[in-house]
Amino acid sequence: MGVSFGMSFFAVLFALIIEQARPLARGNWIHAGFRAWARWTSRSMDAGQPHHGWIAWTVTTLVPALVTLLIHWLLWNVSVLLAFAWSVAILYATLGFRQFSHYFTDIRDALDDGDEVTARELLAEWRQVDASELPRSEIVRHVIEYSVLAAHRHVFGVLVWFSVFAALGLGPVGAVFYRTSEFVARYWMHKSQVPNAAGEGASPALQTAAAKAWGMIDFVPARVTSLGFAVVGSFEDAIDAWRNYTQRFSAQAPIALEVRNDGVILAATSGAVNVRLGGEALRAATVSSFSANASQDFQAARSGSEAEELVATESTPGREPEVAHLRSVVGLVWRSVVLWMVLLALLTLARLLG
């Protein structure tokens, strides 16, 4: 399977090019099919007990991964080119900026035009938050934080898991496992909180299992992404913000692991581009993440104000967020992509020559 990993660079390159030229439409059949699968497994296997939650999560995430692996091996035995095409197809469905970047672009354009009302409306639509009273700097801060986290989950985290599993000869299975794990942690809680979504939600046990699993799965990718931002940005400032911010954030136990992972990425971003993040903007983001991932039993033990106080943080050092920082963040992300591609190219070359 050495040649399989040798194709990783080209598979990622082709997938990114195709995704930029023809992005997946919102509500596409691939995502709709997986949503239906997640609904079925939660209805069929989620009986409300902790072990039921882990069984449902395991089946929901591992079955698509195993199917992906089986098809990869079958195609590999037929033709290397077919296996390569399969990897490109899987990466196209799981990897890419265009799955979320339209909101970022529209908000940035609105702010460039001085249309803060439209920018607030777009932000509220994107993240389901009340942005009606946010000042301009807070809009920018929210957009930076949400966009960086989205870039991590849609691009860099996928690349980490894809690269590791491809190196083991398992093809694109890592990309599928990572994206499905992220999706179910978010989807099951979202459906549980939506009115008139009876039968589509999940028990507190299943929500807790999905959130804990996602926190562990994203632990290493979050730090790889942060290190990449440090390398292509202001290294010393990024590492300093990462170290100091993480210490403050982690001290506020029992913060969920997946929220701490997000905090590492945001801290590194803050130092890499010298922008002040956190405070009120991060509080809103982490309260949303906390509510979307913690068990309902844990939430019931605290009032809304207590939960908000639990995840409130101080702002990181840096300049007040400005529209110019949005362009800096875009540059940071694309430089990180280039860094990844260079590393994959070098590893591919070494594998092929070796």
Q: What is the pLDDT of residues 237-288, one digit of tens each?
A: 999 989 887 655 444 433 456 668 888 999 999 999 999 887 544 344 443 4
User: From CA 292, how far away is CA 185, in angstroms rounded?
Assistant: 8
Is the model's pLDDT at 147 over the cut of 50?
yes
How confident is the model over 73-94, as a mean pLDDT? 94
Lowest-confidence segment of 39-53, 180-194, 211-225, 292-306 by average pLDDT: 292-306
Between CA 338 and CA 343, with CA 339 as vertex, the angle to 5 degrees is 115
> 3-state class of 318 per DSSP?
coil
**What residues contact 207, with CB distance under 8 A and at least 6 apart?**
53, 188, 189, 192, 293, 294, 295, 296
Is the model's pLDDT at 70 over the cut of 60?
yes
Distance of CA 201 to the CA centre of its chain: 21
Q: Which of 174, 143, 156 is nearest to 97 (CA)?
A: 156
Q: 205 near 52, Cβ under 8 Å?
A: yes
Domain ranges of the chain: 2-353
Q: Report helix angle 8-21 to 157-167, nearest 10.
A: 150
User: From CA 248, how far away is CA 196, in angstroms rounded?
Assistant: 39
Read off the pLDDT of residues 150-204 as tens digits, 9 standing for 90 and up: 999 999 999 999 999 998 889 999 999 999 999 999 888 776 655 444 445 678 8
Read off the pLDDT of residues 327-348 as tens digits, 9 standing for 90 and up: 999 999 999 999 999 998 888 8
What single DSSP character describes residue 275?
B
User: From CA 140, how far away is CA 134, in angstroms rounded?
Assistant: 10
The pTM score is 0.85
How confident is the model over 65-86, as a mean pLDDT? 95
User: From CA 118, how far away is CA 353, in angstroms rounded?
Assistant: 54
